[in-house]
Amino acid sequence: MALAGDHARSGRDSWRVVASQVYAYALAGFAIFLIAIFPPKFDLRLSTVVQVIIVAAFLAGMERASRTPASNVAPLTALMATSGVVFGPWLLVLASVTGLAIRWRIVRAEGGRWSDLFALKTMMQLANAIIASYAVIATWAGMTRMLDRVPHSLVVFATFPAILLVGLAWQTANNLVVNFYFMINGRSVALTQMLRIGIIASIYAYLLVGMYSFGGLLATTIFYVVVAQIRVLQDVLGITTSLHKLENAQTQAQGLTRDLLRLTDTEDVEFSSEVQNISQMLGRRLGMSKADLNLLDLAAQLHEMGKSRLPARIRSGQTLNPREIAQKATYPRWGGLMVRAADALFPPVIADWIEFHSEHFDGSGYPRGLRGEDIPLASRIIAVARDYVRYLTGYDSTEKVGKEKALALLRAGSGTLYDPRLVTLLCELVG
């Protein structure tokens, strides 16, 4: 018996099935359009035809279906880029043969029959192969014209980036086709990982082209099977896959840290969130890059984390003696140390941003007495945002005031406590 939720999910996902079918037919139509508008001009010399047949047989026998980019996508990208450079339009045939071989092995692995090969997914596989092949052919044609204009002494050096672009053309076209299909079906894609693999595969293609130029088809085959395929490429791709896993681990750890911070006092969480919002406003108005805005967002959200190293009475106490007040002021330093101790999980740069948000523009702050532009911009942003929110909310035993009074207090500290430019900018944003 199906659950009610299953029926609801089926209803919600039915559009994905229809969209996938429409997408497959659209790809097939586009592939046919490319062939009709740009009919391939094959090199029919006997030597070329024989080599193409050998390579097609090799690809049909060697290529296997795989769900891991490291073991399948990169070698395939390298071979297709190499074939495009060496055999030109014959790549359309070689890519189609490879696609059919891979699809047939998938059908057999799933217990299917020959008739199952004539399915929508096969049509999409062939369309993808044709579209990516045309991307390679067009790119190499442009690169060939460019190489013809390069001085003979520089051709060797210019060939490397040319072949690199050819490999990336295949990888990019393939990524666009496949990843859009994944998005239709609600599956996540790892574009950064695929880009790395594309670059590595393109370098691999350059080596294969060089081997073909010096030793012909036999030497290239031996190099692919014995040297690069088994040793070098797998080692490099293993490192790439590990780096991707580390990036995922970092993202998950940062998310977990944010969630754990929410277990602290509600007032602290709300305060940090408001500082985060104001910091983002200032950063965007300053034209910070998306990457820096993301780091600023993380630093602003975690800027209070050093308080977790202080005794509970000092964290929340309102009647502290001078020694305890001085101890409480060390929390930015503790926050920076905590981030540095977890440098495998957090970008190291935010450690300084967190540690120096209590520095003053005139050099009278803590912990190092930095002044002016020596204080990181992100730290100066957090300092202004933090005190503005502190004045508005009465956080940390501060007298709660209205917006105009809060801005007046910031203006009074402009040039001494705060960066004057940031105070002026905040006043423009919220005044």
- What are the domain boundaries of the chain? 15-254, 264-430
Residue 158 to residue 139: CA distance in whole angstroms? 14
Give 211-249 as a DSSP string: HHHHHHHHHHHHIIIIIIIIIIHHHHHHHHHHHHHHHHH
User: Which has the closest alpha carbon to 71: 237, 224, 222, 284?
Assistant: 237
Residue 142 to residue 403: CA distance in whole angstroms? 60
Q: Can you tell me the mean pLDDT for 147-155?
A: 80
Structure token digits, residue 269: 């969480």
Structure confidence at residue 39 as a pLDDT band (50, 70, 90) = very high
Residue 342 to residue 96: CA distance in whole angstroms? 49
Share of the chain above pLDDT 90, in %: 21
Q: What is the 3-state secondary structure (H, E, C) of 272-330?
A: HHHHHHHHHHHHHHCCCCHHHHHHHHHHHHHCCHHHHHCCHHHHHCCCCCHHHHHHHCC
Residue 68: per-residue pLDDT: 41
**Range from 53-67, 199-213, 365-379 that averages highest in pLDDT:** 365-379
Structure confidence at residue 52 as a pLDDT band (50, 70, 90) = confident
Angstrom CA distances, 383 to 127, 334, 356, stand at 55, 16, 9
Q: Can you tell me the mean pLDDT for 273-293?
A: 90
Between 13-22, 131-140, 259-268, the lowest mean confidence (pLDDT) is in 259-268
Residue 235: per-residue pLDDT: 47
Structure confidence at residue 198 as a pLDDT band (50, 70, 90) = low
**Range from 50-59, 108-117, 277-286 that averages highest in pLDDT:** 277-286
Superfamily of domain covering 264-430 = Hypothetical protein af1432 (1.10.3210.10)
Look at residue 222 and tell me whether its pLDDT is greater than 70.
Answer: no
Structure confidence at residue 344 as a pLDDT band (50, 70, 90) = low
Phi and psi dihedrals of 263, rounded to 5? -80, -10
